[in-house]
Structure 1
Amino acid sequence: MDFNIWATAGIVLVSAVTFALGFRSSRQANTTQDFLVARRTVRSRRNAAAVSGEYLSAASFLGVAGLVLKDGADALWYPIGFTAGYLALMLFVAAPLRRSGAYTLPDFCEFRLRSAGLRRLAAVFVIFIGMLYMVPQLQGAGLTVRHILPGVPTQVGAAVVAVLVVANVVGGGMRAITLVQAFQYWVKLFAIAAPAFVLCALFIGGGGARGIGATGLSEPLPPTFTRDAVIQVETSVVLSVDAHVRLVAEGTVDGRPADGTTLWGPGEHEVAAGSTLRFTEGSPVPVVKGAVGDNADWQSPASDAEDLLTTYSLIFALFLGTMGLPHVLVRFYTNPDGQAARRTTLHVMLLLGLFYLFPTIMGALSRVYLPELLVTGQSDRAVLELPMAVVDNVFGEILGAVVAAGAFAAFLSTSSGLLVSVAGVLSTDVFKSRVRDFRLAAALAGVLPLTAALLLQPSDLSLSVGMSFALAASTFCPVLVLGIWWRKITWVGAAAGMLTGGTLVLTALALTTVSGYTGGWAPWFVQQPGLFTVPLSFLAVIIMSKATHRHIPAETKHIRMRMHAPDRLGLIKDRATGLGDSRAKHVLGRHRR
């Protein structure tokens, strides 16, 4: 792809506005409460937009469309799970969590179970989840910059996002990023919705500038190339072929040198990195191993036992993982009371449901216009490349610029929330809870994921984030749900559950990472472990709590009354944080819906 001046201008504009809004808001941040919870004065609608802006990450903006392109109907569980998790959050967690008066997830664990050791363990898992979630954001930023600036290393985009995010968070913490994230939600919605409407209109009206008909997905056959295609294979892939395909190959194919016309029969064919494949218009599209081959299967959900179990495991991780994501839960601490926290959650579901319509549409259109991404396995590029694939002129470049700007907003907003949650835990549990400690923690928390993003091999963005959800569902979800609704939980049981679920998921993550470098041998329950790790974590909490019932805190009745009593009784009281900043007294500002 050639240099796109429009996309470059869009990314620069979004970055500049992000920095300007963050700088403007940071001037009002001068206490630790400003940095941690924005003085708990964020109104419901703005907070809902900020939560949505933070939540719609690279996995949502780029990854969902890529998975729809590759996996079809089965990929729809991702947007469903991403949104439905907020229903459980609204029903079981949001209001009691806010009424606890805690500042961070570890702070809640200590408040509920009166254990400093459990707080330290929770802090470790908050850092793990934050780092694991932030790495794909930075990798997605590198992918976007490389797409619009050919020849520029992916490390540049990752570094730009890291620097911008650290600057905003260091400048004003939660108070600075709230307005930024609310603004970025609307940027992302426009950036995905406007191109989707235009491209759908062109598709229905005659296939766009390339004149492709609107029947591409109706045939129960493998997708075909809509034009002659020259594909550069950047990483080694194994391709599945359902029908005979004639192509011109240069490089290493099936372990042998290739330089000329070749005929692939049905089966699997290995293509080494650096090879070039040339296909003619109308040829069946080989797909990367594991992707859905023909359109009939693409339109139908999985039916065999292994695929069904993988889907159930994914649902477990996404639906329950939302309740345990530290960067999501920290936003509910910014509401003035429990009722506002619940109202915020309802608005979030509406905003997310609206957004996820459009990546699904983009993924379906990519199946028609970008079948070459099924060959390279780089399906995360679908949203970025689709506008030019449909309209190969200046208008297509402008649509591509809008999409690129939205993608960059996704990286910035999610990374900001992750950095605030991790920095908040570091500043309160490792340092002395002062403003300068928060700023130092933010700088440190930005360096580690950037290093990992530069060193690790990129994978499907939604799949990477899915492991973060599995870790959150297997560690914090049981502690939050049982801690809020079960009076007999003890700190020993909570620690046992977190260690059980966390160890299993981190082991699965390590095995999956090694598998990615050594031939992809990991079975489904390693790649999607939530179906087993979440129930085992709940079971560990219950069994160990019953075995250590003497450790039930004496103040349990008072604590539970405070979490569940109506807001009008006035029992909400912020916890003391040991702040070294004398100005950090809580001032409850005026709240509007």
Structure 2
Amino acid sequence: MRSNPWALTGILVVAALTYYLGHRSSRFANTTDDFLVARRTVRSRRNAAAISGEYLSAASFLGVAGVVLKEGANGLWYPIGFTGGYLALMLFVAAPLRRSGAYTLPDFLEARLGSLALRRCATLFVVIIGVLYLVPQLQGAGLALNVVLPGTPAWVGAIAVTVLVAGNVLAGGMRAITVVQAFQYWLKLFAIAVPAFVLCAVFVADHRTGPAGEFGKPASPVFTADTTVRIDVEVRLRVGSVTPVWVKGRGSGTETLVVWPKGATEDVARGTQLRFAAGTPVPVVSDAVAAEDDWLAPVSGGAGDLLKTYSLLLATALGTMGLPHVLVRFYTNPDGKAARRTAVHVLLLLGVFYLFPTLLGAMSRLYVPELLVTGQTDAAVLHLPHAILPGLAGDVLTAVLMAGAFAAFLSAASGLVVSVAGVVSTDVFKGRLRENRWSISLVALIPAVLAVVLRPMDLTQSVGIAFALAASTFAPTLLLGIWWRRLTWPGAMAGMLFGGGLVVAALVWRTVDGYSGSEVPWLLEQPALVTVPLAFVITFLVSLATPAGMPADVNGVMLRLHAPDPLGLMRERAVARFGVVDGRARGGKGRHRR
């Protein structure tokens, strides 16, 4: 794909608007309270747009279409789970969490269970989840930039996003990025909805049946013209039928004709160039669905696929309530009622958005099947406009999509940096403004280094493991802590360490297998079906065995979590610990603008 100056312009416009809105809002951020929770004055609608803006990350804007292209109906479970998680959050967690008066998730656990050791343990897992979620955002930025500027190293996009995000968060923390993220939600919705409508209109007006094949046929897609594919990441391909291909190795100047037999599995090295003749069936990466009839059928891979689907749904349904950048948003609402209303609005905003990447993913199966060979299916949304509308029209639509993609990288990364940095500054340091800024720099730097060093994975799978970790650590503690008075801090810590330890072990195992080329079982890809129930059981049993770990003020805390807001029982946590004394010295009242 050639360079696209229109897309580069779109990226620069989004970057400029992000910097302007963040800088303008940062003028009102004078205290640590501003940096952490925006003085708890963000109203429901704006907060819902901001939550949606940071939640619709690279995995949503690019990854959902990519997983639909690769897995078909099975890929629809990702947007369903991403959205459905807010229903559980609204019903069980949002309002009590806000009434706790806490500033961060570890702060809530200490307020509920009275254990500093548990707080330290929670801090560790918040950092791990934040890094796991942030790394794919930065890697996605590198992938997207390489699409519009071929040959650009992947680290360029990752570093550019890191610098811009860190600058905005350093300037004003939560108060600054609230306006930015609310704006970026509407930008992302526009950027994906308009191209989807235009491309569908062209498809219908031309009466096209799909150049690469038709859905529902017991065959794989085919190349509609002579196609040259360059492999940028080592892949393992499955060959559905006899496939002649011209192969040129890395550094080689000559092509060799090779015939891949039906049913073969071929390992293709990075830097290899493959050339297919028109009408050749498309070989697919090993974890993709080849036949179109299987692509349309949900859970067509047997018991393993069924269990993996249940595991994914459990991870996304419960993992949302353990994501630090999501939960910290509910601390910015004025009260519990506003927090619950915010969650309802988020369900609506997410439901509307996810219609469009799903549609674009299905169209990508018809027009850019070559991505099934390279394994870079996350770039489907960015390649699709040129495949349907070559020329200037395709350039402009790609620019709009690229602007939305970079808004996704920036908004998700901003939320993650500010939430994780808030935890680090208040738990590792003393929570003063200066230390908060040091924490922001540190939290931004570590994922940037990992994004450059580690091998990229599919965006949805990378984010999926972060959901599994959140569901296996914080979901049991939050649900039992809010609704079961007999929870103890040893029980909460045991469940957190056990569930989180199993997920981290699965992640390490999967990463090692990925480098060695071994097949990865479903349990390592998505372990939540095992780790989440075990974490609940361990938390429950250890709590029953350690009644002395129950805090003395449990009745008062539970009353405060569940009492209606008009009773006035809600009170904020000890503010001096979080640097408000330092903030008073700097002055400045003000309210967050609606």
- Work out whether residues 83 and 349 of structure 1, in 8 Å CA contact, stay in contact via their aligned partners in 2: yes
Aligned equivalents of 2:366 and 2:355: distance in 1?
18
Aligned equivalents of 1:329 and 1:219: distance in 2?
45
Equivalent residue for 2:284? 287
Equivalent residue for 2:215? 217
2:257 aligns with one of 241, 251, 261: 261
- Work out whether residues 155 and 452 of structure 2, in 8 Å CA contact, stay in contact via their aligned partners in 1: yes
Aligned equivalents of 1:367 and 1:312: distance in 2?
25
Shift in Å, 1:587: 10
Equivalent residue for 1:182? 182
Aligned equivalents of 2:588 and 2:42: distance in 1?
12
2:416 aligns with one of 401, 409, 418: 418
Equivalent residue for 1:158? 158
Aligned equivalents of 2:390 and 2:578: distance in 1?
58
- Work out whether residues 212 and 369 of structure 2, in 8 Å CA contact, stay in contact via their aligned partners in 1: no
Aligned equivalents of 1:123 and 1:271: distance in 2?
42
Deviates more, 1:7-16 or 1:262-271: 262-271
- Work out whether residues 318 and 466 of structure 1, in 8 Å CA contact, stay in contact via their aligned partners in 2: yes
- Work out whether residues 249 and 260 of structure 1, in 8 Å CA contact, stay in contact via their aligned partners in 2: yes
Q: Percent same amino acid among aligned pairs?
A: 60
Equivalent residue for 2:335? 337
Aligned equivalents of 2:309 and 2:478: distance in 1?
24
Shift in Å, 1:588: 9.8
For 2:398, the aligned partner's letter is: G
For the residue of structure 2 that corresponds to 1:261, the secondary structure is strand
Aligned equivalents of 2:177 and 2:94: distance in 1?
21
Output one character per residue of 1:276-309: Cα deviation in whole Å (capped at 9) or x when no partner: 1111222111111121011000000114111101
Shift in Å, 1:376: 0.9
Shift in Å, 1:571: 1.1
Deviates more, 1:383-392 or 1:515-524: 515-524
For the residue of structure 2 that corresponds to 1:582, the secondary structure is helix
Aligned equivalents of 1:207 and 1:362: distance in 2?
17
For 2:229, the aligned partner's letter is: I
Equivalent residue for 1:54? 54
Output one character per residue of 1:230-284: Cα deviation in whole Å (capped at 9) or x when no partner: 01112222211111222222228xxx99933332221222222222111122211
For 2:170, the aligned partner's letter is: V
559 and 587 in structure 1: CA distance in 2 versus 1, 3 angstrom threshold: farther
For 1:579, the aligned partner's letter is: F
Deviates more, 1:549-558 or 1:177-186: 549-558
- Work out whether residues 33 and 578 of structure 2, in 8 Å CA contact, stay in contact via their aligned partners in 1: no
Equivalent residue for 1:484? 482
Aligned equivalents of 2:589 and 2:296: distance in 1?
52
Deviates more, 1:216-225 or 1:233-242: 216-225
Shift in Å, 1:430: 1.0
Provide structure 1 residue ranges, at least 5 long, that are not aligned to the other structure. none
Equivalent residue for 2:94? 94
**1:362-441 pair list within 5 angstroms:** 362-441=360-439
257 and 538 in structure 1: CA distance in 2 versus 1, 3 angstrom threshold: farther
Output one character per residue of 1:307-346: Cα deviation in whole Å (capped at 9) or x when no partner: 1011111111111100100110000000000000000000
Aligned equivalents of 2:207 and 2:67: distance in 1?
22
Query: How many residue pairs were aligned?
Result: 588
Equivalent residue for 2:274? 277
For 1:413, the aligned partner's letter is: S
Deviates more, 1:144-153 or 1:171-180: 144-153
- Work out whether residues 367 and 384 of structure 2, in 8 Å CA contact, stay in contact via their aligned partners in 1: yes
- Work out whether residues 206 and 212 of structure 1, in 8 Å CA contact, stay in contact via their aligned partners in 2: no
Shift in Å, 1:217: 2.2
- Work out whether residues 204 and 214 of structure 1, in 8 Å CA contact, stay in contact via their aligned partners in 2: no
For the residue of structure 1 that corresponds to 2:387, the secondary structure is helix
Aligned equivalents of 2:140 and 2:22: distance in 1?
22
RMSD over aligned CA atoms reads 1.9
Deviates more, 1:78-87 or 1:547-556: 547-556
Aligned equivalents of 1:536 and 1:257: distance in 2?
56
Aligned equivalents of 2:506 and 2:399: distance in 1?
38
For 1:166, the aligned partner's letter is: A
Aligned equivalents of 1:377 and 1:61: distance in 2?
17
For the residue of structure 2 that corresponds to 1:235, the secondary structure is coil
Aligned equivalents of 1:553 and 1:450: distance in 2?
40
- Work out whether residues 207 and 390 of structure 1, in 8 Å CA contact, stay in contact via their aligned partners in 2: no
Shift in Å, 1:512: 0.8
Shift in Å, 1:220: 3.2
Output one character per residue of 1:37-71: Cα deviation in whole Å (capped at 9) or x when no partner: 00000010000000000000010011110000000
Aligned equivalents of 1:396 and 1:592: distance in 2?
39
- Work out whether residues 224 and 371 of structure 1, in 8 Å CA contact, stay in contact via their aligned partners in 2: yes
Q: Are positions 1:535 and 2:540 aligned together?
A: no
For the residue of structure 1 that corresponds to 2:267, the secondary structure is strand
Provide structure 2 residue ranges, at least 5 long, that are not aligned to the other structure. none
TM-score (norm. length: structure 2)? 0.96
Aligned equivalents of 1:72 and 1:294: distance in 2?
10
For 2:223, the aligned partner's letter is: F
**1:507-522 pair list within 5 angstroms:** 507-522=505-520
Aligned equivalents of 2:583 and 2:159: distance in 1?
33
For 1:582, the aligned partner's letter is: V
132 and 214 in structure 1: CA distance in 2 versus 1, 3 angstrom threshold: closer
Aligned equivalents of 2:28 and 2:200: distance in 1?
44
Aligned equivalents of 2:402 and 2:526: distance in 1?
30
Equivalent residue for 1:133? 133
For the residue of structure 1 that corresponds to 2:249, the secondary structure is strand
- Work out whether residues 41 and 333 of structure 2, in 8 Å CA contact, stay in contact via their aligned partners in 1: yes
Equivalent residue for 1:493? 491
- Work out whether residues 113 and 490 of structure 1, in 8 Å CA contact, stay in contact via their aligned partners in 2: yes
Aligned equivalents of 1:580 and 1:316: distance in 2?
38
For 1:54, the aligned partner's letter is: E
For 2:266, the aligned partner's letter is: H
Aligned equivalents of 1:133 and 1:86: distance in 2?
18
Shift in Å, 1:589: 7.5
**1:495-574 pair list within 5 angstroms:** 495-574=493-572
For 1:352, the aligned partner's letter is: L
Equivalent residue for 2:171? 171
Output one character per residue of 1:172-218: Cα deviation in whole Å (capped at 9) or x when no partner: 0000000000000011111111111111111122267xx95697324
Equivalent residue for 1:197? 197
Aligned equivalents of 1:522 and 1:221: distance in 2?
25
Equivalent residue for 1:41? 41
Output one character per residue of 1:491-550: Cα deviation in whole Å (capped at 9) or x when no partner: 000000100011001101111111110013332111111000000100111000000012
For the residue of structure 2 that corresponds to 1:238, the secondary structure is strand
For the residue of structure 2 that corresponds to 1:336, the secondary structure is coil
For the residue of structure 2 that corresponds to 1:195, the secondary structure is helix
